[in-house]
Structure 1
Amino acid sequence: MSFRTVTTDGPLRLVVVGAGGMGRAWARTIQASADTELVGIADLSSAAAESAAEEIGVPGLALGSDAVELARRAGADAIVNATIPEAHHPVTTAALLAGIPVLGEKPVAASVAEGLSLTAAAEHTGELFMVSQSRRYHRSLHAAKRRLAPLGAVGIVAVDFYKAPHFGGFRDEMDSPLLLDMAIHQFDMARFLLDADPVSVSCEEYNPAWSWYAGDAAATAVFAMEGGARFVFNGSWCSPGFETSWNGSWRISAERGSVLWDGEGEPGADPDEDAAEAVDDPGQEIAGSLREFVAALRHGREPMGRVHANVMSLAMVEAATQSASQGRRVVIDDVLDRSYDAALATERDADVLAVMKAWSSVRDALSHKEERQ
């Protein structure tokens, strides 16, 4: 499934939508790359956009409240959607329907249903919509995957995630702060390591007595994955002392050995056999996402995180929260089917609706996966 490439000369011209902390991080990353140029910042708050432009220090930077209008006025080739999750669907939909490619912050949208709508919008328009799952862009994660190659079939992927951040603000009041705001990173990394999608999940959430979060800040989830492997997530956002990295601490058990990775340094394997191929550097976090987005638009190269492939990572989050609240195992296809029905019922664009109605099944529609590393 192809998408439109960009053939303009010079650096890729980008507008950042959202002038908060993440939008400013994207703006700085765009400015630091020789392959991209920041040409505008859009935000509903003119004061926030002006403050971000002043902080970034780009003279004459175009500003505005409407992403599409600003992108056209500034001559942008694409937008980076760094808005809050609730705004991901309307902002990305408007851009795609206007013929503008989008690199979006995770999650793909606020719900799987909205993610399916965006998948269909990308198909209808032929524009690239890529989601930045930034923690896939770590050389040691790719090295861990290479170390698995000689070890045969993988049976268990397990990650421990223990941190104690005092964020303040909305995270402290969320019902499921760990699952909803953080776990998608580890869920997506497990899909990358296994080259497999989820089948079902059993999940329990809880909150230690000393937790400073209103909602459950700890969880254990066991996913059955395609091919029979299990992915076990064990995490907490209120565990001070001996904290793991933000990527977590990983153990991957395969037929002929295991791989360990602390989330930052070089992975180890036992037995220690050299992987068949050297590991290319994927770039680091959002800078890696940006580099891959540019390569995709310039050369038509299939990127990690294209919307079709990424929706499954959000489906893992929704399924885990449902399992925890209902106290039972949840089948991923049931989540997809309910989300599909919701997407059909709420879609306002007739052409996008027609694309969704033409799908033989949701899983088949999402099976257009990225080229494997």
Structure 2
Amino acid sequence: MTPSSDSLVNTNLPLRVLQVGAGGMGRTWLRTLLSHDRVELVGLADLDVARAKAALDETGAPDVPTARTLEELIDHVAADVVLDVTVPEAHHTVTMQALRRGLPVLGEKPLAASLAEALELVAASQAYGRLFMVSQSRRYDANLVAFRRLLRRLGRIGILTTQFFKAPRFGGFRDAMAHPLVLDMAIHSFDSARYLLGVDPVAVYCDEHNPAWSWYAGDAASTAIFEMADGSRYVYTGSWCSPGLETSWNAAWRASGEYGSAVWDGDSPPTLEVAEGADAGEETDDAEETVHPGIAGSLREFVHAVRTGSTPMGEAADNVLSLAMVHAAIESSRSRQRVVVADVLERAHAEALERATGEVRDVLASWTSLTPPG
């Protein structure tokens, strides 16, 4: 039932998708899949099969086959790719099963529950020659893309800041997480910062805490200061139990550069003010301007990458650095010390080598850099 990699390149046939996970986000993905003209939903797996059937009924696809696990579906349904919308703890299992069976994977963030698991999955993607992409859906916001263009006019960037203040009451696994804000939400901003600045993190100092009125078990508020490779600083401040005057889900952003500053409230078009006499150049109009927002953008890029063999945004070998920012921030918060991102990656790599076997371990052992090759 598994296609060859070559059979998916340069074809006009719809990609046959097996989705795993039928919770709230899973239902959102179902609607996105069913509205896309270049994919076909051919199966839905969820440990609660009744929930899977209810999700399909709700989204208008009652005849799609269901099962408890991906493994049950793969043997009975012809598929081309897998969409993983499970909880973070299940990402490693689902993605590894799919890659071993020759199926490219589009997964929800985070890449995996731990950085070691993430590196193992990156190595598996390379060992089995199949694409593994993480849906960093915020990158497909047209205003974020416009903000990035404005930053190019500011010359050297000195500091980029993010403010995120919301008060959602999710219930479920987020309420029980040890680091709900940093691990489940801040990764969107961390990844966007890498996208905006075009450079990677070197080190971080982070402070997490849980306000007295918080309804989360773990730390729901955080401030993190990242040193970036070009000498700039990225500063994130946020809270998930901050009612009143809430920011956009995209957060509020400000960039300060040598020629001026740019701001973005997360919803409206960004604005720029150039210092008097500064030669910031003219705004460019490039292909980045046309994007499909949110997870629809992720899906379209994934489909294009599978069909053409191109490397998409969110490809696992690159996205692992956004996850490394998360785990470095958590380690810094625990130790109350500055943490070097490369050190966190090195320890995760050693753990991944202990976990992995066969071809996957061979790939991990072949890496000559702390940053896995793309």
> Residues 111-139 of structure 1, C-alpha deviation per residue, up to 9 Å, x if partnerless?
11001101110111111110001111100
Distance 2:214 2:129 in 1: 46
User: Which residue number corresponds to residue 47 of structure 2?
Assistant: 44
CA-CA distance at 1:338 after TM superposition: 0.6
> Residues 191-216 of structure 1, C-alpha deviation per residue, up to 9 Å, x if partnerless?
10011111100001122233232322
Which runs of structure 2 are paired with 1:146-161 in the superposition (5 Å)? 146-161=149-164
1:243 and 2:252 aligned: no
1:301 and 2:310 aligned: yes
> Residues 154-213 of structure 1, C-alpha deviation per residue, up to 9 Å, x if partnerless?
111101111111223332332222112111010000010011111100001122233232
User: Which residue number corresponds to residue 283 of structure 2?
Assistant: 275
Distance 2:12 2:78 in 1: 12
The DSSP-based 3-state class of the residue aligned with 2:301 is helix
Which runs of structure 2 are paired with 1:255-266 in the superposition (5 Å)? 255-266=258-269
CA-CA distance at 1:245 after TM superposition: 0.2
The DSSP-based 3-state class of the residue aligned with 1:232 is strand
C-alpha RMSD of the superposition: 1.6
Distance 1:110 1:4 in 2: 31
1:64 and 2:34 aligned: no
* Match of residue 135, structure 2, among 132, 135, 150: 132
CA-CA distance at 1:65 after TM superposition: 2.4
User: Unpaired runs of 5+ in structure 1?
Assistant: 369-373
Which runs of structure 2 are paired with 1:1-373 in the superposition (5 Å)? 6-7=8-9, 8-271=11-274, 274-278=282-286, 279-347=288-356, 349-363=357-371, 365-366=372-373, 368=374
The DSSP-based 3-state class of the residue aligned with 1:213 is coil
Contact preservation (8 Å) 1:71, 1:78: no
Distance 1:238 1:46 in 2: 33
After superposition, the Cα gap between the structure-2 partners of 1:356 and 1:310, relative to the gap in structure 1 and judged at 3 Å, is: same
The DSSP-based 3-state class of the residue aligned with 1:74 is coil
Distance 2:142 2:358 in 1: 42
Contact preservation (8 Å) 1:4, 1:126: no
> Residues 68-99 of structure 1, C-alpha deviation per residue, up to 9 Å, x if partnerless?
44245322110101111111111101111111
Stretches (4+) displaced over 3 A: none
- Across the two proteins, how many residue pairs are aligned to each other? 363
Distance 1:76 1:137 in 2: 26
Distance 2:263 2:366 in 1: 43
> Which amino acid is 1:142 matched to?
V
Contact preservation (8 Å) 1:5, 1:299: no
> Residues 18-49 of structure 1, C-alpha deviation per residue, up to 9 Å, x if partnerless?
11111111111000111111111012222222
Between 1:322-331 and 1:52-61, the stretch displaced more is 52-61
CA-CA distance at 1:362 after TM superposition: 2.1
Distance 2:74 2:106 in 1: 14
CA-CA distance at 1:238 after TM superposition: 1.4
User: Which residue number corresponds to residue 277 of structure 2?
Assistant: none
* TM-score relative to the length of structure 2: 0.93
Distance 1:226 1:166 in 2: 36
Contact preservation (8 Å) 2:84, 2:107: yes
Distance 1:17 1:265 in 2: 34
* TM-score relative to the length of structure 1: 0.93
CA-CA distance at 1:10 after TM superposition: 2.4
Contact preservation (8 Å) 1:148, 1:275: no
The DSSP-based 3-state class of the residue aligned with 1:73 is coil
Contact preservation (8 Å) 2:166, 2:239: yes
CA-CA distance at 1:234 after TM superposition: 0.6
Distance 1:167 1:6 in 2: 38
User: Which residue number corresponds to residue 371 of structure 1?
Assistant: none
Contact preservation (8 Å) 2:53, 2:62: no
Distance 1:220 1:4 in 2: 46
The DSSP-based 3-state class of the residue aligned with 1:168 is coil
> Which amino acid is 1:193 matched to?
L
